[in-house]
């Protein structure tokens, strides 16, 4: 066992310095440009640079000191860490509390063959950050650390059981690997595309003020000279560049995305410039969510993410984890059967009743009614054309109505609903933290109610909600979860 104290790689001092500098970047910039007017002369002219240089030297010294005072080792079934300058602190983390060791090869670590290790635990006392972080250690040491901890946990699980051969680390099996076609399609239909489309639409909506459409043909020469065409092209090209940058960013982040299953863990690796490895214990998975955005759904693609009980508040990625970032919907059930065989991904949904449609349309109408009234009054009678705005909102309400549905299959509850994306949340009964029903005055009159189910995911939890279900469906779901109660 690794019992001698070990130090981090010296590059850790640089990482500490850059982390502190990042937090002070805005005050630092303000200081550099402080008193840079024409009246500043002599010493005062250089004072901001002197102070800024002093701050950088102090931060570098602090980073080096933090590296020198940090050490870690394994002893008596614990990961032990010592750190601190004026007050030496010690942190002992028992192996059984360690849920995962997440590895990252950042720009600083990769040239030296190093990784950053984040230690995620169950029941952390500080939910704002990982339980511990080893900023820069060798890949060999990280692998050795994982091996020792996993073997110790396996041995502990086998104590007291009648097993002739203790459990050993199994070889990992690749259950999903994203190919370049999927990666490129995901990048081009990601949020960056939505930003560009929104930007183009917003910009074009201003053309009524910029372009006199009724005179555009007979005054084309004057219009070109006004520079509006040039400005339009610059804006659109700028948005396209932003979109391309978003595509490249997604390609870099999700390159070589691979999911492997090793024993009781899922191991997810991804990234080109910064390579990350996230380990997810299967027993921490609380639910599965299928997400279909508005661009991918017509193409038959979806994303699948798992809701995990692990993770900290500031690191949502460690609680909501994309396990299949882009996949054909018809392939999801087969792949997830290898990853989480206890979940049934292909189910037949019970829809919300037809009488709910009016309420779905009415809710979306409320969002635009005030705008329509204002435009109608301000631009009467031409403002009445704004009534056409109801059409896209009614279509959106109708899509919400069509998406809403539920299914109960033995011990699994599945809820499907839509916001801007269509969500399907798969939950096992023993993982549901709470199930609530609610009715307002208007729903009571029409025999409708809402159902909201929540599973643990990070601190806040992950919820699925079906609006305007009929009373019988609500009663069925409620009594499935609370079989001892007969009324709602």
User: What pLDDT, on the 0 to 100 scale, is given for residue 373?
Assistant: 92
User: What pLDDT, on the 0 to 100 scale, is given for residue 250?
Assistant: 86
For residues 282 and 334, state if they share a domain.
yes
**In whole angstroms, what is the distance from residue 191 CA to residue 266 CA?**
27
pLDDT of the chain along its 488 residues, tens only? 556 888 899 999 888 888 888 777 767 666 666 555 555 566 666 777 777 788 888 888 888 998 898 999 888 888 889 988 778 888 888 888 887 788 888 888 888 889 999 888 765 544 445 678 899 999 888 888 888 877 776 665 555 444 444 444 456 789 999 988 889 888 888 765 554 555 455 444 544 444 444 454 455 555 555 565 666 777 788 778 888 888 888 888 899 999 999 888 889 999 888 888 888 888 888 999 999 988 888 889 999 999 887 654 444 455 788 999 999 999 999 999 999 999 999 999 999 999 999 999 999 998 899 899 998 998 888 889 999 999 999 999 999 999 999 999 989 999 999 988 999 999 999 999 999 999 998 999 899 999 999 988 766 678 899 999 999 999 999 999 988 665 55
Of 239, 254, 269, the domain-final residue = 254
User: What pLDDT, on the 0 to 100 scale, is given for residue 342?
Assistant: 92
Sheet holding 422-428, edge to edge: 320-328, 301-308, 285-292, 422-428, 412-418, 405-409, 350-351
Is there a domain that residue 166 lies in?
no
For residues 301 and 408, state if they share a domain.
yes
For residues 275 and 385, state if they share a domain.
no
SS3 95: helix
Count CB-CB contacts under 10 A for residue 184: 14
User: What pLDDT, on the 0 to 100 scale, is given for residue 246?
Assistant: 83
For residues 328 and 451, state if they share a domain.
yes
Closest listed residue to residue 343, CA positions, set 304, 302, 292, 287: 287
For residues 448 and 421, state if they share a domain.
yes
In this structure, what DSSP letter does residue 206 have? T
Q: In sequence order, which residues have a C-beta less than 8 Å from that of residue 330 and are 6 or more positions away?
A: 300
User: What pLDDT, on the 0 to 100 scale, is given for residue 160?
Assistant: 47
Distances (CA, A) of 98 to 78, 130, 279, 295: 10, 11, 11, 39
**In whole angstroms, what is the distance from residue 130 CA to residue 126 CA?**
8
For residues 192 and 340, state if they share a domain.
no
Q: Count up the domains in the chain and report the number.
A: 4
For residues 432 and 306, state if they share a domain.
yes
Is there a domain that residue 4 lies in?
no
For residues 314 and 372, state if they share a domain.
no
Of 228, 254, 280, the domain-final residue = 254
For residues 217 and 285, state if they share a domain.
no
Burial call 339-366: b when 16+ CB within 10 Å, e when fewer: bbeebbbebeebbbbeebbebbbeebee
- What radius of gyration do the chain's Cα atoms show? 29
Q: Which two tokens stand for residue 345?
A: 């991904």
Residues in the chain: 488
**In whole angstroms, what is the distance from residue 349 CA to residue 478 CA?**
17
Count CB-CB contacts under 10 A for residue 440: 10
What's the predicted TM-score (pTM) here?
A: 0.75
SS3 370: helix
Strands (E), 84-140: 89-94, 98-105, 114-121, 132-138
User: What pLDDT, on the 0 to 100 scale, is given for residue 268?
Assistant: 92
User: What pLDDT, on the 0 to 100 scale, is given for residue 45?
Assistant: 67
Is there a domain that residue 246 lies in?
yes
Scan for tokens 């102090």, then name that residue.
Answer: 58
DSSP H or E stretch at residue 441:
helix 441-446
Is there a domain that residue 276 lies in?
yes
Is there a domain that residue 274 lies in?
yes
Is there a domain that residue 6 lies in?
no
Of 204, 224, 254, the domain-final residue = 254
Q: Which two tokens stand for residue 186?
A: 């995901």
Closest listed residue to residue 477, CA positions, set 404, 401, 409: 409
User: What pLDDT, on the 0 to 100 scale, is given for residue 313?
Assistant: 41
User: What pLDDT, on the 0 to 100 scale, is given for residue 17?
Assistant: 86
**What is the distance, to the nearest Å, from the Cα of residue 12 to the centroid of all Cα atoms in its chain?**
27
**In whole angstroms, what is the distance from residue 355 CA to residue 343 CA?**
32
Is there a domain that residue 164 lies in?
no
For residues 336 and 373, state if they share a domain.
no
For residues 224 and 90, state if they share a domain.
no
Angle at 373 between CA 368 and CA 378, to 5 degrees: 125
Is there a domain that residue 175 lies in?
no
For residues 336 and 264, state if they share a domain.
yes
Q: What domain range includes position 469?
A: 258-352+404-481
User: What pLDDT, on the 0 to 100 scale, is given for residue 63?
Assistant: 87
**In whole angstroms, what is the distance from residue 472 CA to residue 469 CA?**
8
């Amino acid at each position: 066992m690794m019992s001698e104290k070990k130090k981090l790689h010296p590059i850790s001092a640089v990482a500490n310095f850059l982390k502190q500098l990042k937090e002070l970047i805005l005050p630092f910039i303000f200081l550099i440009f402080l008193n840079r007017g024409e009246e500043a002369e002599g010493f005062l002219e250089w004072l901001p640079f002197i102070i800024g240089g002093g701050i950088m030297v102090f931060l570098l010294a602090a980073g080096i000191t933090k590296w020198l005072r940090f050490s870690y080792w394994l002893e008596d079934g614990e990961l032990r860490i010592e750190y601190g300058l004026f007050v030496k602190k010690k942190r002992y983390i028992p192996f059984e509390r360690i849920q995962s060791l997440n590895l990252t090869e950042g720009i600083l670590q990769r040239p030296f063959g190093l990784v950053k290790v984040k230690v995620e635990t169950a029941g952390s006392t500080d939910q704002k950050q990982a339980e511990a972080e080893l900023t820069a250690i060798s890949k060999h040491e990280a692998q050795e650390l994982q091996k020792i901890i996993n073997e110790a946990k396996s041995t502990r699980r086998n104590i007291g059981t009648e097993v002739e051969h203790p459990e050993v680390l199994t070889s990992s099996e690749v259950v999903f690997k994203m190919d370049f076609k999927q990666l490129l399609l995901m990048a081009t239909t990601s949020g960056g595309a939505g930003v560009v489309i929104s930007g183009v639409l917003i910009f074009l909506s201003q053309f009524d003020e910029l372009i006199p459409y009724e005179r555009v043909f007979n005054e084309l020469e004057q219009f070109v000279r006004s520079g509006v065409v040039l400005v339009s092209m610059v804006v659109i090209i700028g948005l396209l560049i932003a979109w391309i940058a978003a595509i490249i960013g997604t390609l870099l982040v999700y390159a070589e995305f691979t999911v492997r299953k090793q024993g009781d863990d899922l191991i997810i690796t991804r990234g080109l410039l910064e390579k990350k490895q996230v380990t997810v214990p299967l027993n921490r998975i609380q639910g599965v969510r299928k997400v279909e955005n508005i661009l991918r759904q017509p193409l038959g693609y979806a994303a699948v993410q798992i809701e995990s009980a692990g993770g900290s508040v500031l690191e949502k990625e460690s609680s909501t984890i994309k396990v299949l970032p882009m996949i054909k919907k018809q392939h999801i059930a087969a792949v997830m059967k290898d990853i989480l065989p206890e979940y049934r991904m292909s189910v037949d949904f019970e829809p919300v009743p037809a009488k709910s449609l009016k309420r779905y349309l009415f809710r979306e109408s409320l969002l635009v009614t005030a705008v329509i009234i204002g435009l109608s009054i301000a631009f009467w009678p031409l403002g009445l054309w704004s009534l056409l705005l109801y059409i896209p909102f009614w279509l959106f309400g109708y899509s919400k109505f069509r998406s809403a549905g539920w299914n109960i299959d033995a011990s699994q509850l599945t809820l499907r609903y839509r916001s801007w994306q269509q969500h399907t949340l798969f939950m096992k009964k023993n993982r549901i933290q709470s199930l609530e029903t609610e009715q307002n005055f208007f729903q009571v009159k029409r025999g409708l109610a809402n159902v909201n189910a929540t599973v643990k995911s990070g601190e806040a939890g992950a919820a699925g909600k079906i609006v305007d279900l009929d009373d019988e469906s609500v009663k069925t779901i409620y009594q499935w979860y609370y079989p001892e109660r007969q009324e709602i």
